[in-house]
Amino acid sequence: MSRPRLLLVPAPLDFGLDASAPLDEVLPKRTLQEAAGLQHWVVENAKTARALLKRVDAVIPLALPLQQLAIVELPRPPKGQARTSVDLSPLMSPLRAGHDLGLLSEAGLPAVADPGAALVAAAHRAGFAVHGLPGSSSIVQALAASGLNGQSFAFHGYAPTESTARLQRLREWEAQSRKLQQTQVLIETPYRNPALLQALVQALQPSTVLAVSRALTTPQEWTRSATVAQWRQQPSELPTDQPAMFSWLAAASG
Amino acid sequence: MSRPRLLLVPAPLDFGLDASAPLDEVLPKRTLQEAAGLQHWVVENAKTARALLKRVDAVIPLALPLQQLAIVELPRPPKGQARTSVDLSPLMSPLRAGHDLGLLSEAGLPAVADPGAALVAAAHRAGFAVHGLPGSSSIVQALAASGLNGQSFAFHGYAPTESTARLQRLREWEAQSRKLQQTQVLIETPYRNPALLQALVQALQPSTVLAVSRALTTPQEWTRSATVAQWRQQPSELPTDQPAMFSWLAAASG
């Protein structure tokens, strides 16, 4: 028996868009083959995981019928408690039994901008092999399409939702961007896209370049990269039913 | 005629490894189809671009024979001058003539950790559409496999090569990692892998978790993620003929 692996299985980025595109259009064959062969899964959401596995099955037949797969959701910590308070050891029982285990999130690479990293860390501590399968991440797809500095960047996840805290944080990140010439990248929940865009356009300096992307990796991909002055002069509308990525780079001072 | 696009074409991450793997194992069909149809390219290195296009052709026949493709290298700025001093306008002549233009780097997504971002920015300023095709980036593949915080991270490109400057920078980045609970990510030129690993193991605190990955997205993928104390107790050797990625997260203070 070969050494069991925790396999990080990327999901496509077409969440909220036309989900009927054949999966091999956006994921490579090796990823689909490994996914089709897995019998044990830990996932962020079981329902969307099953929908994705149906799309895998349409390209490469699953080794076992969908109903026979062991699909476990990542436990959420009790309200008010840290995620580290959850014992992830039971999730690794397939690995202890010698089986490969797949980790899957809602979109993109698992364990990046989602709660899966704790399981990856636990697998390393327990001495299991961790392998990432090839796939796209919205963070770097957005960064590449922005034309902003890709040699130095920071991803901060989500901005604060409270407006005063958000304004303060955006200004701190802009100062850091100017000082380090470091591109700043944020993700946002779809329904808050317009609010974050408005906050960025108001908070950032006119000379800062702001890029917004949506529908990344699909034929409908859209990226606008322009100075904040230009965004103010000619605003863009953002849809509230699909994720968007926001990145900006402040002009060097002096 | 549809609106011309600057297409960001991802290269596989198997540079320096067995290059004979069929390309559809690691790149999705949409990427290969778009790449096979392109007649105009701007690339980091023409020789490796041709080698990659041969691998595309083996899976999806190129629209034109390789010799008939227009392949232009990204100009390097004169020594001592900033990259912004180079006029990139001539590179966009295919777009002005109504043709799609492909941008390709040596590995992973173009315009991330390579000089292509300036062309993407120029295309945005000139009003052309920019679309990124789906593919892997070593930065997020390494981050996912590390099990470190993927909700907040910074990529710094390369560390300084001079040892005193490097030591100082590593300590600054570790302090930032502790303060912000932000994972720090570096790439290194293969022949400097052992020197950087040694510097990290010496410079970082024993409780900091350090992850090193190589052969990302391939069946030979290897990631070790352990505390600096464990790296000191049981060192690992790194090959000098393939790229590696380094990431670390300092333990929260107090």
Cβ pair A25:B25 closer than 8 A: no
Distance CA A210, CA A220 (A): 20
**Chain A residues with CB-CB distance to B155 below 8 A:** 152-154
Distance CA A36, CA A44 (A): 18
What mean pLDDT is reported for chain A? 92
Determine how β-strand A40-43 pairs with β-strand B40-43. Answer: unpaired
Q: Residue B86: its pLDDT value, please? A: 77
Determine how β-strand A5-9 pairs with β-strand A40-43. Answer: unpaired
Domain boundary among the residues B99, B116, B132 is at B132
In a domain, B147, yes or no: yes
Of A110, A145, A156, the CB nearest to B144: A110
List, for residues A63-84, the tens digit of each pLDDT value. 999 999 999 999 876 665 555 6
Q: Residue A228: its pLDDT value, please? A: 98
What is the average per-residue pLDDT within A127-135?
A: 97
B12: domain CATH number is 3.40.1010.10
Q: Are residues B41 and B93 in the same domain?
A: yes
Burial class for A76, CB neighbours closer than 10 Å (0-12, 13-18, 19+): exposed
Q: Are residues B152 and B123 in the same domain?
A: no
Of A29, A109, A157, the CB nearest to B24: A29
Determine how β-strand A244-249 pairs with β-strand A183-188. Answer: antiparallel
Of B28, B112, B152, the CB nearest to A26: B28
In a domain, A254, yes or no: no
Say which amino acid occupies A13: L
Question: In sequence order, what are the beta bridge partners of B246?
Answer: B186, B212
Chain A nearest-CA distance from B245, in A, is: 13
List, for residues B118-165, the tens digit of each pLDDT value. 999 999 999 999 999 999 999 999 999 999 999 999 999 999 999 999
Q: Are residues A114 and A151 in the same domain?
A: no
Distance CA B157, CA A3 (A): 33
Which of A31, A101, A136, A188 should be substituted to probe chain B, the one whose Cβ sees the most B Cβ atoms within 10 Å?
Answer: A136
* Block residue for tokens 């200004």: A171
In a domain, B254, yes or no: no
Distance CA B84, CA A241 (A): 38
Cβ pair B136:A134 closer than 8 A: yes
Q: Are A102 and A74 in contact (CB under 8 A)?
A: no
B252 vs B28, residue with greater confidence: B28
Q: Are residues B213 and B118 in the same domain?
A: no
In a domain, A186, yes or no: yes
Distance CA A210, CA A229 (A): 10
Q: Residue A85: its pLDDT value, please? A: 65
Q: Which two tokens stand for residue B196?
A: 């950087």
Distance CA A133, CA A28 (A): 9
List, for residues A36-45, the tens digit of each pLDDT value. 999 999 999 9
CA distances from A52 to A31, A47, B202, B238 (A): 13, 9, 44, 37
Chain A nearest-CA distance from B190, in A, is: 17
Who contacts B101 (Cβ-Cβ below 8 Å, separation ≥6)? B4, B5, B6, B7, B38, B40, B41, B42, B91, B92, B94, B95
Number of Cβ within 10 Å of residue B234's Cβ equals: 9
Q: Which residue of B has its CA nearest to A123?
A: B147
Residue closest to B221 by CA, chosen among A33, A124, A131, A95: A131
Q: Are residues B20 and B41 in the same domain?
A: yes
Q: Are B207 and B251 in contact (CB under 8 A)?
A: yes
CA distances from A13 to A16, A19, A197, A200 (A): 9, 10, 21, 24
Domain boundary among the residues A88, A113, A132 is at A132
Q: Are residues A127 and A14 in the same domain?
A: yes
Confidence band of B241 (pLDDT split at 50, 70, 90)? confident
Domain count, chain A: 2
Q: Are residues A149 and A82 in the same domain?
A: no
Cβ pair B140:A24 closer than 8 A: no
Using the predicted structure, report yes or no on whether residue A121 has a pLDDT greater than 90.
yes
What is the average per-residue pLDDT within B6-27?
A: 85
Domain boundary among the residues A82, A97, A132 is at A132
Q: Are residues B20 and B109 in the same domain?
A: yes
Number of Cβ within 10 Å of residue B128's Cβ equals: 18
A147: domain CATH number is 3.30.950.10
Query: Whole-prediction pTM value?
Result: 0.95
Say which amino acid occupies B180: L
Q: Are residues B224 and B238 in the same domain?
A: yes
List, for residues B184-229, the tens digit of each pLDDT value. 999 998 999 999 999 999 999 999 999 999 999 999 999 999 999 9
In a domain, A225, yes or no: yes
In a domain, A239, yes or no: yes
Confidence band of B107 (pLDDT split at 50, 70, 90)? confident
Domain with B160 in it = 138-249
Distance CA A29, CA A27 (A): 7
What is the average per-residue pLDDT within A140-162?
A: 96
Q: What is the DSSP letter of A132?
A: E
Chain A nearest-CA distance from B86, in A, is: 16
Q: Residue B242: its pLDDT value, please? A: 86
Using the predicted structure, report yes or no on whether residue B84 has a pLDDT greater than 70.
no
The answer to whether ipTM exceeds 0.90 is yes
Q: Residue A204: its pLDDT value, please? A: 97
SS3 call for B138: helix
Say which amino acid occupies B84: T
Of B27, B130, B140, the CB nearest to A109: B140
Q: Are residues A67 and A164 in the same domain?
A: no
Q: Provide the sign of the torsion angle of the four alpha carbons A59, A63, A67, A72, taken in this order.
A: negative
Q: Provide the sign of the torsion angle of the four alpha carbons B174, B180, B185, B186, taken in this order.
A: negative
**Chain B residues with CB-CB distance to A109 below 8 A:** 140-141, 144
Show the beta-strand stretches assigned E in A108-243. 129-132, 153-155, 183-188, 209-214, 222-227
Which of A18, A23, A25, A131 should be substituted to probe chain B, the one whose Cβ sees the most B Cβ atoms within 10 Å?
Answer: A131
List, for residues A2-34, the tens digit of each pLDDT value. 789 999 999 999 866 665 689 999 999 999 999
Q: Are residues A122 and A176 in the same domain?
A: no
Q: Are residues A45 and A108 in the same domain?
A: yes
CA distance between the termini of chain B:
62
Q: Residue A75: its pLDDT value, please? A: 87
Q: Are A189 and A231 in contact (CB under 8 A)?
A: no
List, for residues A184-238, the tens digit of each pLDDT value. 999 998 999 999 999 999 999 999 999 999 999 999 999 999 999 999 999 999 9
Q: Residue B109: its pLDDT value, please? A: 94
Phi/psi at A85 (5° precision) = -80, -10
List, for residues A160-190, the tens digit of each pLDDT value. 999 999 999 999 999 999 999 999 999 998 9
Distance CA A204, CA B155 (A): 22
In a domain, A62, yes or no: yes
Of A110, A123, A144, the CB nearest to B132: A144
Distance CA A114, CA B151 (A): 7
Using the predicted structure, report yes or no on whether residue B40 has a pLDDT greater than 60.
yes
Q: Which two tokens stand for residue A90?
A: 């039971």
Which of B2, B155, B213, B223 should be substituted to probe chain A, the one whose Cβ sees the most A Cβ atoms within 10 Å?
Answer: B155
B1 vs B73, residue with greater confidence: B73
Using the predicted structure, report yes or no on whether residue B254 has a pLDDT greater than 60.
no
Q: Are B146 and B223 in contact (CB under 8 A)?
A: yes
Angle between helices A117-125 and B138-146 (to 10 degrees): 60
Using the predicted structure, report yes or no on whether residue B1 has a pLDDT greater than 60.
no
